[in-house]
Amino acid sequence: MSRHCIFLSLTIFLFLSCNQPQTTEKVDGPPVSESGIPEPRSLTFNVLNTWPHDTAAFTQGLELYKGEILESTGLVGRSSLRRVEIKTGKSKLLKKIDSPVFAEGVTILRDTVYQLTWQDHFIMLYKAEGLYPIRRADWTAEGWGITNDGSSLIISDGSDKLYFVHPGDLKLQRVLSVQDNLGPVNNLNELEYANGYIYANRWQYDYIEKIDPKSGHVVGRIDCRDLLRKFSRSDISYLTTPGSIGEQNGAVLNGIAWDASSGHFLITGKLWPDIFEIRLND
């Protein structure tokens, strides 16, 4: 190649290089995936109090009602609905659920309690005061978690879907697909609605997801992996003893209750010895 050709090629190369768009500008905020969904924020918290919890309670749903805990517990032959004193962990009222029903999540809307069943395809309704049975209502999907936004019931079935349902006739209003920056978020379990967001336990994950009910995007994530080990005052070795109920069925994080008066959450797990009162640093 002649010197003239080399010089011409170099000139063209430098011209094109100088006219390439610059990509070094810094973008504020969390990383955004190709889907356009930002990575969820890490939400930290402080543990304010630790209250006793029945270690035989396979917690599926947790609510606050008039200063007491309303709890739904699962497993066939051990399912129940109970009102519990917060500071003592003792049941003031306990209704056993007959076999073969496996009870799941619970919520209260307009003084009516809605308790899910796992694979029995019905929801049990009670009067909140006294827990007197009202009726059963058919539900076509599996029941995992349930909450409400003041007008609609919101139900999970273990997938990445949340179902918004009219409380009277259980007519489906809309379906929300939940996803984060990596894609669909499945195994959605116990639910709680607070301050315009849905908080969800994700089964087999020690996280609580904060979900925007309009977009379905996970906007925040609470890491509870070391919660029990760090803050429990009890010997928790029984949860992993080979052959125990905890080892066989999974004594996992499950149970979120929102205290609107204090702005705090109560959280626990299946067969856990404690309920933790936490304040989010959000």
Among 2-6, 101-105, 275-279, the range scoring the smallest mean pLDDT is 2-6
Paired strand residues for 245: none
In a domain, 167, yes or no: yes
Terminal-residue alpha carbon distance, the chain: 66
Beta-carbon count within 10 A of 196 CB: 9
In a domain, 215, yes or no: yes
pLDDT at 282: 74
In a domain, 33, yes or no: no
In a domain, 36, yes or no: no
In a domain, 35, yes or no: no
Looking at the structure of the chain, the number of domains it has is: 1
Encode pLDDT of 163-220 as tens digits. Answer: 999 998 899 999 999 999 999 999 999 999 999 999 999 998 999 999 999 999 999 9
In a domain, 38, yes or no: no
In a domain, 34, yes or no: no
pLDDT at 2: 43
Q: For 111, what's the count of Cα atoms within 13 Å in the CB-facing half-sphere?
A: 4
Q: How confident is the model at residue 69 (pLDDT cuts 50, 70, 90)?
A: very high
Distance in angstroms (rounded) separating the CA atoms of residues 248 and 158: 19
Assign residue 171 the CATH number of its domain.
2.120.10.30
Supply 225's token pair: 């992996």
The DSSP string of the chain is --HHHHHHHHHHHHHHHHTSPP------SS-B-TTSPBPPEEEPEEEEEEEE--TT--EEEEEEETTEEEEEE-STTT-EEEEE-TTT--EEEEEEPPTT--EEEEEEETTEEEEEESSS-EEEEEETTT--EEEEEE-SS----EEE-SSSEEEE-SSSEEEEE-TTT--EEEEEE-EETTEE---EEEEEEETTEEEEEETTSSEEEEE-TTT-BEEEEEE-TTHHHHH--S--GGGGSTTSHHHHHT--EEEEEEETTTTEEEEEETT-SEEEEEEE--
In a domain, 97, yes or no: yes
Encode pLDDT of 223-242 as tens digits. Answer: 999 899 999 989 888 888 88
Mean pLDDT for the stretch of residues 256-260: 97
- Domain span holding position 169: 52-280
Closest-CA residue to 147 (of 261, 255, 271): 255
